Amino acid sequence: MKQLKKYLLSITALLGLFILPFNASAEEVDMGSKVMKFINDTGFAQLSNGNWLCIIMILVSCLLFYLAIVKKFEPLLLLPIAFGMLLTNLPGAGLYHPELFEGGHVHWANFVNANNVGLLDYIYLGVKLGIYPCIIFIGVGAMTDFGPLLANPKSFLLGAAAQIGIFATFLGALALGFTYAEAGSIGIIGGADGPTAIYLTSKLAPGLLGPIAVAAYSYMALVPVIQPPIMKVLTTQKEREIVMQQLRKVSKKEKIVFPIVVTVFVSLLLPSAAPLIGCLMLGNLMRESGVVDRLSKTVQNELMNICTLFLGISVGATTTATAFLNFQTLAILIIGILAFSIGSAGGVLLAKFMNLFTKNKINPLIGSAGVSAVPMAARVSQNVGQEANPGNFLLMHAMGPNVAGVIGSAVAAGILLSFLG
């Protein structure tokens, strides 16, 4: 005990020697108050002052890290989204300020004072201005082969049928009390197209951007889990065993003309869809023309990866505790899975209906690939088909509705934007 007292006296003496010079005169800075201010300004102090919602959001971000890293659920998007969520919910960091984007508008005047603007505010401008989703669509177009769609034009109908989930969910969200703009943003989850969902939500309901983006990418990652039970319930063993005819070879000229024709037709019919469709078809034209390989490879890799990183971080930044932890988020997660399920079922049911009138039968399993999760949905159709008939190869047949779904979801977003924007 005496030894302990001796140590304490020694420590006190040393502290006294350190603090004494700062208390030498009234003109010296009060270091005690500065130390207290430093302590009160730390995130730990702010967490202890009732910011328990931030702790919950940090735990949610850790859950997303687990899904991205361990379960590999869309890691390219979920990991940066999770990190953006982590950063924006660290008390005192001041990286993102929702008030700069209140009312769905960018308050440019407030960006003049750099002290009131965080790093994530600047990065989020790419989402708010619709830059990141469109650039990602250029990359998607450069990686997409529309050959299976051109070889079997009936695939357009299957891709369109899968978009029924968007409009059915729109009506369901309205019934739950969401506004028209919010319901349109929630409905687009049924298209299983993350960039389209982010683009539309940033225009119609930016306050819901975080929950909708998390729901859209989570359900895209869960395609192999969600779709097979729906496909098996709606089809018979005999239908799953249908072997489709081999697709014809599509000429290079057709592949070059296709993106130009689609851009002109869709943009004239639905101008609000021009940014997404135009970027998608630009990327595809660069791929199919064969004269700009360097640009095509750049948008497929470096450019798309950079934009994916910024998109994920900035979307995660919008998931503040007040915006995420509420009834609306729970409703969006529930409605989202219903939207995705309805979209998958719509494609299967239309394929069954078409078989009543066509000579060359369609395997209904490829109808579920009409959602825009490329190429995961097509692979699911292939796997379920091979379970029924190991010698059946549906992948290329399923790619037709799959890439048609990408066009369909962009067109559906344009329709919603035209009516609700």
Tell me the pLDDT band of 385, cut-offs 50, 70 and 90. very high
201 part of a folded domain: yes
Contact 220, 194 (CB under 8 A): yes
220 part of a folded domain: yes
Token pair recorded at residue 13: 């003496």
Q: Is 187 helix (H, G, I), strand (E, B) or coil?
A: helix
**For tokens 């609306």, what's the residue?**
328
279 part of a folded domain: yes
63 vs 321: CA distance, rounded Å: 15
Tell me the pLDDT band of 321, cut-offs 50, 70 and 90. confident
Contact 54, 47 (CB under 8 A): yes
376 part of a folded domain: yes
Cα of 372 vs its chain's centroid, Å:
12
pLDDT at 45: 63
21 vs 24: CA distance, rounded Å: 5
24 vs 219: CA distance, rounded Å: 65
414 vs 421: CA distance, rounded Å: 10
**Global confidence as pTM:** 0.84
Q: What is the mean pLDDT of residues 174-184?
A: 91
Q: Which amino acid, one-letter code, is at 264?
A: V
pLDDT at 191: 80
Tell me the pLDDT band of 3, cut-offs 50, 70 and 90. low
**For tokens 């088909």, what's the residue?**
385
DSSP line for 388-420: H-TT---HHHHHHHHHHHHHHHHHHHHHHHHHH
With a cut of 60, say whether residue 109 has pLDDT above it. Answer: yes
Dihedral (C-alpha) 256, 258, 263, 266: value to the nearest 10 degrees? 180
198 part of a folded domain: yes
pLDDT at 315: 86
With a cut of 60, say whether residue 335 has pLDDT above it. Answer: yes
> Could you list the residue range(s) of the whole structural domain that residue 259 is in?
143-289+319-420
323 part of a folded domain: yes
Q: What is the mean pLDDT of residues 215-219?
A: 80
With a cut of 90, say whether residue 324 has pLDDT above it. Answer: no
With a cut of 50, say whether residue 13 has pLDDT above it. Answer: no
pLDDT tens-digit profile of 397-421?
A: 999 999 999 999 999 999 999 998 7
Percent of the chain scored above 70 by pLDDT? 89
Q: Is 98 helix (H, G, I), strand (E, B) or coil?
A: helix
What is the DSSP code (8-state) at residue 205? -
For the packed helices 194-204 and 180-187, what is the interaxial angle rounded to 10 degrees?
170
186 vs 330: CA distance, rounded Å: 12
336 part of a folded domain: yes
Length of the chain: 421
Tell me the pLDDT band of 184, cut-offs 50, 70 and 90. very high
Strands (E), 352-391: none
Tell me the pLDDT band of 10, cut-offs 50, 70 and 90. low
32 part of a folded domain: no
Neighbours of 90 (CB within 10 A): 15
Contact 363, 242 (CB under 8 A): yes
Q: What is the mean pLDDT of the chain?
A: 85
Q: Which amino acid, one-letter code, is at 59?
A: L
157 vs 164: CA distance, rounded Å: 11
35 vs 51: CA distance, rounded Å: 22
Q: What is the mean pLDDT of residues 109-137?
A: 87
What is the greatest pairwise CA distance in the chain?
100
Identify which of 265, 263, 216, 249 has the alpha carbon closest to the alpha carbon of residue 371.
216
Number of domains in the chain: 1
